[in-house]
Amino acid sequence: MLPVVAIIGRPNVGKSTLFNALIKERKAIVSNVAGTTRDRVYQRMEGKNLDYMLVDTGGLDFDSTGVIEENVKLQAQVGIQEADLLVFILDAKDEVTMLDEQVVEYLRRNVDSEKIIFIANKCDRQIKPGELSDFLTFGFGEPLQVSAVQRQGLEALKDKIEKRLKDFGFSRKEKEEDNEKIKVALVGKPNVGKSSLINAYLNEDKLIVSPIAGTTVDATDTNVKYEGREFTFIDTAGVRRRGKVEAGIEKYSIIRVFDAIDRADVVCMLIDGELGVTKQDQHIIEIITKAKTGLILVVNKWDTQEKGEEARAHFFRYLRSKFAFIPWAPAIFVSAKTKRNIVKIFPLIEDIYKERQKRIKTGQFNDFIENTTMKHLPSGTKNVRPKILYGAQVDTNPPHFRININQNKYFHFSYFRYFENRLREKFGFAGTGIKIDWVEREKKHKKR
């Protein structure tokens, strides 16, 4: 399970700016208006030694009596109770406010100090400890100085996060070997039939099933054996649109969905055959593709649709138009209610799992690079041409390649997409995401 690291603090101290700087993309909304961040924003972080889930939270705010409002209690729940580590941020350019002191007092009462990394933001220059004397009275030690806008101190912060998580016992766990159970996550929006599909397997005579106690309130593991092969199905709570999520623990089910996807070898994305593809479906698919897992599009409730191959072919074309960016993901039409086609999922899962174990020899891969670039040279500028130097596959499950190039900025993003498409044409990898690291060649400094 991925450890959760939450960025917390009062409104308008730079939490979202720091979040965006750490993940190196503009994902959280940044505004000078206090309270802009109301929903959680999540991003998986791949660290040097371990991975973790980074969470941007709304600002901790108190009413005049110092009591956290109900809305903010939910923010605190994910930021404090659900997180394994807190990054507590204060504004170094502002004087300590009453709200800062209230947040500090709340943390003192509810959180072990070892769980807190204390940082001072907006340190565009190195500030002498004496100038931060007010911060030292909080009891969290000397704050780490960072500037989210200037991207200063971020590497030191990430190193500190990893070290603290390692001290807590977290580590990067390798994927299980082939003889272990294949892990399959069932995800989708509410009422799409995830639990119904699990129940259908529970009552299927061909399957040997043993339930496992759920590890969280919204995720349950079920062991299933089919034709001598063992599978672990991970059922998850439905992912609603942000505006439709009700108050309460369901607000945080998305963290567990992230974790289920991270644990899985293959994800079965359930789509309602009656309603078709929704924007929420597309959002969930985006999460899955970033995780580089295996993927099967499972169209459920197909028993209510018009029968016949023509109807199925029409819906299949509709799926491909909605998910044009994942032509490699297979689709299957099932009915959890009537158990139609439900056992056909297992051969697909096994095929995808085998594809995830595939390894390409380095010589063969570099021959492919040479042939691919000769057929279509990457376009560059007048003075500089992008070059792919060499590459190798460095891992499996998922297939992971590292390719050395001269400079990333010379390549148009479409060429990376072209390269992956040719890679799939040559070697397959059907049904699984592929991870490709484009590594810039280190510059050699000329001696004077």
* Per-position pLDDT tens, the chain of length 448: 678 898 988 888 888 889 989 987 654 434 343 433 334 467 778 888 888 888 887 667 665 455 555 555 555 555 677 789 999 999 888 888 888 888 888 888 888 889 999 999 988 887 776 677 778 888 888 899 999 988 899 999 999 999 999 999 988 765 444 447 899 999 998 888 888 888 888 775 544 444 443 333 345 678 888 888 889 998 776 665 544 444 333 445 566 778 788 889 999 999 999 999 998 899 889 889 989 999 999 999 998 666 678 889 999 999 999 999 999 999 999 999 899 999 999 999 999 999 999 999 999 999 999 999 999 988 766 677 889 999 999 999 999 999 999 888 888 888 999 999 999 999 999 999 999 999 988 665 544 4
Q: What is the pLDDT of residue 352?
A: 97
Q: What is the pLDDT of residue 35?
A: 39
Q: What is the pLDDT of residue 129?
A: 64
- pTM score above 0.75: no
> Residue by residue, what is the 3-state secondary structure of 89-113?
EEECCCCCCHHHHHHHHHHHHHCCH
Radius of gyration of the chain (CA): 24
How would you label 88-121 residue by residue, b for 16+ Cβ within 10 Å and e otherwise?
A: bbbbbeeeeeebbebbbebbeeebeeebbbbbbb
CA angle 359/362/365 to nearest 5° reads 80
Architecture of domain 362-440: 2-Layer Sandwich (3.30)
Which residue shows structure tokens 């299980």? Answer: 176
Nearest by Cα to 162 from 15, 17, 22: 22
Determine the Cα–Cα distance for residues 389 and 37; give it in Å rounded to an integer: 43
> In this structure, are strands 144-145 and 116-121 parallel, antiparallel, or unpaired?
parallel
How would you label 342-379 residue by residue, b for 16+ Cβ within 10 Å and e otherwise?
A: bbebbebbbbbbebbeeebeeeebbebbeebbeeeebe
Domains 182-357 and 362-440 share a fold: no
Sheet containing 388-395: order of strands: 388-395, 400-405, 435-440
Determine the Cα–Cα distance for residues 438 and 282; give it in Å rounded to an integer: 26
Q: Which fold has domain 4-167?
A: Rossmann fold (3.40.50)
Q: What are the boundaries of each domain within the chain?
A: 4-167, 182-357, 362-440
Q: Which CATH superfamily, name and number, covers 182-357?
A: P-loop containing nucleotide triphosphate hydrolases (3.40.50.300)
Q: What is the pLDDT of residue 373?
A: 92
Whether 89 and 17 have beta carbons less than 8 Å apart is answered as no
Whether 390 and 414 have beta carbons less than 8 Å apart is answered as no
Q: What is the pLDDT of residue 335?
A: 93
Q: What is the pLDDT of residue 217?
A: 39
DSSP state of 216: B
Sheet containing 4-8: order of strands: 41-46, 51-56, 4-8, 85-91, 116-121, 144-145
What is the rounded end-to-end Cα distance, in angstroms, of the chain?
52
Cα 84 to Cα 2, 26, 132, 164, distances in angstroms: 10, 24, 27, 10
Whether 62 and 47 have beta carbons less than 8 Å apart is answered as no
How would you label 297-308 residue by residue, b for 16+ Cβ within 10 Å and e otherwise?
A: bbbbbbeebeee
Nearest by Cα to 147 from 98, 93, 194: 93
CB atoms within 10 A of CB 418: 15
Q: What stretch of H or E contains 41?
A: strand 41-46
